[in-house]
Structure 1
Amino acid sequence: MFWSTLTMLILKTGIVLLLFPGVLCVLRNCDELVVKHGREIKAWSPGVTDMSALDNIVDEKFDIHVSNTGPAVIGSEIDFLAELSAETIVTEKKRFLYHWMNDADNSEKLEATNNYKSNISSYIFDSDLILPNKYKMKVCVYKRHKEFYVKVAENQTLFELTASLNGRANVHQNLTHQKTYQNIFCAMKTMQYSVNLTDKFSIAPTFWFEWYVDGKLMETKENVNFFEFVHNRTGISELRAKVTMDSFGMEEKLHGTWSKSIYFEEEIQKVDVLAATEVVSSDPITLNVTFDGSDVQICWRIVDLSNSSLFDWSCDHPLSRGWYLTPEYSLPRGQYVAQVNVTNDVSAVSTQSHVLSVYSGGGSGTSSTLVVPVFFSLLGLVIIFVGTAYIVRIRRKSNVEVADFDFHPEIDSQGSQGSQILSRIRGTLSDLFQRNEYIRRHRLAKYHRTSAKMYGSIEGSDDEL
C-alpha cells in the first residue's frame, strides 16, 4: 500500500512538471507598458527607448498589499485581495488595471477598474495535478495614461494548498485568575476543547468530530465542533481532535487532526495564617501559612496598624506541600497584621492574620495586661473556695449546750469599746475553730454511760482507787 501510494505521488509530480513547466519557476516580470486594443489587453513595447520618460507620466507613488485566506485544502475555496494605496486618494478620473497570475495552475486574470482594491474570491484549485505545497499569487497594477497603462506597483502573496482539512484548535476554561503561561489549566473544573475549521466549500458538507483525552476516545458528534470534560488529576494531558468530512463528488474523504499538550494544576481554595497574638519585642516571630493547591507561590508583608507603614513584600516557593514557615522577624513595640497572598497559575487567595501585639519587657514574655486579669481570677477562685468550705463546716456543726453566765457589769466594762470588739472577734474565731476541731474528732465516737452516781464524783479505774 505504501509503495503504491508513493509511486502514484511520483507519477503525479512528473506529470505536473511536464504539463506545467512554469509551476516551480519564478513568475514572469510585470510589463512596464501595456496598450489597450478594444477589449483585449496585451503587453506591448511601443518603441520607447528611454524608459525614464515613464517617470514623468507617473506623477505619484503607489504601494500595493496582497493577502489571501489560506491555507486551504485542495478543492476548497480561497480568496485573494490586493489593496492599492497612495499619498493622495482620488477616486475620480482614476483607472487601474490589475493583472493576477499564480504558479499553482498558471492561470491569469485581468481586471480593469477605477477602484483601489481588487480581489479574486472563492477561487478553487481543484485540479488533480495540483500537489499540496506553497505557491505564489502575483499582481501587477497599472494606471491608465491616454491609450496606455503604465505600471505603478506590484507585489505577491504566498499561499498554501494542503491535502488535509485546516482549522484552529482551542482550549478554554473560565478562571478568575490565570497567569500568562499558556496551556496551564485547573483540574476538577469544566473545560472546553474546540476546533474551528477555516476551509470554505460551495456546498455545506457534513463533518464528524472525534475527541480523545490521553489516547482514549471520549465522544463522537456530527457537526458539533466542541467537547466539554472535567480532568480529575494534575500533570500533563494529551488532547486530540479528529475531523472527517463526508465526500461530495470526491473520490476520498478529507480528514484533519489537531493535538495539544496541556498541564493541569490544583486550584487554591483555603489559606490560613497562624501566629502568636502577643510577643515581647526582643523575641522574634514567625508566620505559619497553611494552604491547599499545587505549585504555589507565597508572598507576605507585615502592616503596622498605628502609623500604616508597610514592610516590603517577600515571596517564596514552599518546599513542603500544604504548609510554609516564614523566616523570623523582630518587630518594635506596636500592633501589626500579616497580609498573605498565595497564588499559582490558575488561582489566587489573599488573607491576613489576627492582630499581633508587640510589648516591651523581659525575656519571660509576660505583659502587664496579662498579669492583672490572671491575679484577680485566681483571687476570686480562692474566695469562692474558702466560702464554700466555711458553709460546709457550719452545716455539719452539732447542737451543743452552752451555759449562760451573768458576769458582774464591772468585768464587761473593762477596756475600750474598740478593744472589746476585737476581743470578741478573736474569741468568736477561737471558739469556732476549737468547736470545729472537737466536732471533727468526736463526731463518730460511741459514747457509754458513766458510772458516776452523784454530782462532783469522778469515774476512774480500779488501779487509781
Structure 2
Amino acid sequence: MKLLVIIFISAEMLIKLCNCEYNVTLSHNGPVVLGAEISFKVEVLNSDGERPNDSFKFLWTDDAIPRHEENVVSDNAESCWNVSYPSEKYAPGQYEVQVDVKKWVYAFYLNVASQRIKFNVTAKLNGKVKISQGGISRKDSNIVAVSNIEEVTHEVVLSPPDKEYLSSATQVLSYWYVDCVYYGLSEGYTFLFNFTQEGQVRMVEVLVVASFEPLPTPEPSTTTTTQAPPNTTTQSPGDNNSTTELTSTSTTPSTTSEVSNFRFNATEAVPMVLSKVDGIGNLNVKLNLAQGPSEPVPNICMNKSIIPPDPKKIYGYFGQQLKVNAPVTNVTVNGTSWLQRGDIIYLHINCLGSNPFTYCVRIMPGLYNATGNETCQQGEMVTGSFCEIDFQRYLSVATTYTALIIISNAVSNKVQPVAINIYEVTQKAQLSVIVVPVVCTILAVILMIFGVAYYVQNRRRFVVEVADFHFGHIDVDMECKTFQERLRDAIVNAFSRSIIEDDSDSEGCDDDNRTGRGMWPRRGFGNTAGPSTSGVSGVAGNVGSRGDARGQKYGSME
C-alpha cells in the first residue's frame, strides 16, 4: 500500500514538473464512402502556439465494431492515422475517433491530453457539382447563375478520400440528366452543355457509378465489319431498331454495347449522335438526346426513382440547380466628353442583361487602360433592377480624366472607360464692353452741344428786368401782423391785381406809362413807377413800384 502511494505522489510530481499544459487539435478529411481510407491528424502545441521538442506517444482508437487501434510514437508533436471501413464489415453512419497523447518524462510516458472527433461514413460518394464557364468557377450556392452565351462545364468534385479511392477503380461512368431528360453518359466527371433560354431555372443531375471488377475480355467477332473508333458513340439514324453503343474501350464492334453491365438500347431512332468523348473523359453534348430504353438505365431524376444498388459497385448522386442569365452587353454612354472648366459632367448610361445590376462610376486621373478586372468598392456600389444610370460630377482641375464605368450582374462584369477632357477658357473682353461706353459718351457730348446751342439761341428772346429795392426806407406798415391781418391783406391784393390787369389792357394807359422802347421805366429812388396796387401811378419822391402799397418792387420780363 505504501508503495502505491509513493508511486502516485511521484507521478503527480512528475506531471507538475513536465509543464504539461498543451493544446491538442484533431482533424480529418472526411466524410468518406465505405471502403475509402480516411485520414486523421493530431497536433500538439504549447500554450504559446509553438510545437514542443519532446517525444510523444499517440494512442489511436475508434468506437467501431470491430475496433481500430494503433500506437504511434513521434518526436515532432504530431501524428497521422489512416483507417478504412469496408462495406463488408461496417455499416454507414457516424463514428468517433479518440486520441490519447502521452509525453515521455524521464522513464515513463505520462498522459498529458486527450481529444475526440466525430465523422461520417456514407454509402454513397461524397462531393458536389462544380459549375464553371470560360475557366472561371461560379460561386457555390443553392442556385448557381450561368450565362446563356457561354458553354457550361459541369464537373463532379469528390471529397479527397473518395477521389483517391476511385483512382483504383477499373471504370467510372457518369450519367447526366438535365430537367429529368437523360443526355447520356461520360467516362469521367465532366459534362458540357449550353443553356440559351434566359430566365429559366434548370436542374442538372448526375449519377456516378464506379466499378472495381476487371473489365470483361472482348470476344473476337465472327462477322466482317468495320472496326469502330475508340471512345466514340455511334448510331444508325435511319434504323427504327438501332442500338446506341457507348464505350471507351471498343476494340470489337457489337450490335449491343455493354458499359459496365449498363446498356443503353434505343427502341426508336435517336435524333442525334453524341459527340466524341475526349481523352480526359469529357462528354460534349450539344443537343438533346431522346431516351427510350428497353432495359434498366440509371435514372434518378430529382431523386424520386429508386435505383437497385449493385453491391459490387459504388454510387454517387449529385445535383445542382442553375439559373440562366444574360450577361451585361451593349453598354452605351451619352454625354459630352469635352467640357469647359466649371461645367458639370453629365453621363447617361444604358445596357442590356439580366437584373439585378450592380454598378459604379470611378473617376481616374489621366488616361486609364482598363483590364476588365476592376470592381466597385464597398462604399460606392449601387444596386438596381434597371440598367439606366445618370452620373453627374464636378471636377475643378482642368486636365484629362477617365470615367471608369463598372457594371456587373450575376454572370458578368463589364468595364467601360470613357475619356473626359476639362479645358481652360481664356477670358477675352467683349465688344460691348468697349462699344457701349464710347457710344454713351458720344451721345452725352452731342446732347450737351445741342443743349448749349439751344440755350444761346433762345436767351435773346428773354429780357430780364431787375428791381431795385430801397433798403434804407422804413415802411410804417411793416409791423408784425396776425394771421387774420395777413389773410385780409392777401385777399385785398388779389382783388387789386385783377383791377390792374384790366386797366393794363387799355392802350392809353400803356402809352402814358411806358417809355419809347415799350418798357416800363427803370424804378429807383425818385423815379416814377408804374401803377401801384391801388391803381394810381407812382408819385415823384416816393418809391414807385408795380406791386403793393408797402413799396415792394417787382421786376417784369417780357
Give the C-alpha shift of residue 170 in structure 1. 1.3
1:209-248 maps to which residues of 2 (within 5 A)?
209-222=174-187, 224-235=188-199, 236-246=201-211, 248=213
* Aligned counterparts, 1:13-162, within 5 A: 47-48=4-5, 51=8, 53-58=10-15, 59-61=18-20, 62-86=22-46, 89-90=52-53, 94=55, 96-111=56-71, 113-115=73-75, 116-128=77-89, 130-145=90-105, 148-162=108-122
Distance in 2 between residues matched to 1:176 and 1:110, nearest whole Å: 44
Aligned residue for 1:265? Answer: 325
Question: How far apart are 1:317 and its partner, in Å?
Answer: 5.5
The CA deviation at 1:149 is 3.0
Matched AA of 1:167: G
Matched with 1:293 is 353
Give the direction of change, closer, same or farther, for the CA distance of 1:88–1:178 in structure 2 (3 Å limit).
Answer: closer
Match of 1:196 among 139, 157, 170: 157
CA distance, structure 2, for counterparts of residue 303 and residue 88 of structure 1: 50
Provide closer, same or farther for how the CA distance between residues 284 and 119 of structure 1 changes in structure 2, counting only shifts above 3 A.
closer
> Corresponding residue for 2:408?
344
Task: Give, in angstroms, the shift of residue 137 of structure 1.
Answer: 0.6
**CA displacement at 1:197 relative to structure 2:** 2.5
Distance 2:60 2:420 in 1: 75
In the other structure, the counterpart of 1:171 is 131
Counterpart Cα distance in 1 of 2:68 and 2:155: 38
**Any conservation in 1 of the 2:338–2:420 contact (CA below 8 Å)?**
no
Identity across the alignment (%): 20
Matches of 2:26 and 2:384 in 1, distance apart?
Answer: 54
**Paired AA for residue 238 in structure 1:** M
**Matched residues in 1 for 2:71 and 2:394: separation?**
82
What is the SS of the residue equivalent to 1:326? strand
Q: Distance in 2 between matches of 1:262 and 1:242?
A: 18
Unpaired runs of at least 5, structure 1: 1-45, 306-312, 360-367, 369-465
- Select between 346-355 and 203-212 the one with higher mean Cα deviation: 346-355
Judge conservation of contact 2:131–2:138 (CA < 8 Å) in 1. no
Change (3 A) 1:142 1:288: closer
Quick check: 1:105–1:125 contact (8 Å CA) kept in 2? no
The letter of the residue matching 1:242 is L
| Distance in 1 of aligned mates of 2:183 and 2:381 | 41
Match of 1:187 in 2: 148
Aligned equivalents of 1:245, 1:175: Cα separation in 2: 27
| TM-score, normalised with respect to structure 1 | 0.52
Following superposition, the deviation at residue 209 of structure 1 comes to 0.8
The alpha carbon displacement at 1:243 in A equals: 0.5
Aligned length: 305
Alignment deviations for residues 163-188 of structure 1 (CA, whole Å, 9 cap, x no partner): 11122331122378999998333221
Whole-angstrom distance in 2 between the partners of 1:66 and 1:314: 43
* Structure 1 CA distance for aligned equivalents of residues 42 and 193 of structure 2: 44
The 1:54/1:314 distance shift into structure 2, 3 A limit, reads closer
Given that 2:35 and 2:84 are in contact with CA atoms closer than 8 Å, whether structure 1 keeps it comes out as no
Secondary structure at 1:54 match in 2: helix
Q: What root-mean-square deviation, in Å, do the aligned CA atoms of Structure 1 and Structure 2 show? A: 4.6
1:347 counterpart letter in structure 2: N
State how far apart, in whole Å, the 2-side matches of 1:88 and 1:330 are. 59
**Larger Cα-atom Rg:** 2
Cα shift at 1:353: 7.1
Corresponding position of 2:223: none
Q: In the alignment, which residue of structure 2 is the partner of 1:384?
A: none
Counterparts of 1:268-287 in structure 2, within 5 Å, are 268-275=328-335, 287=347
* Deviation (angstroms), 1:225: 1.2
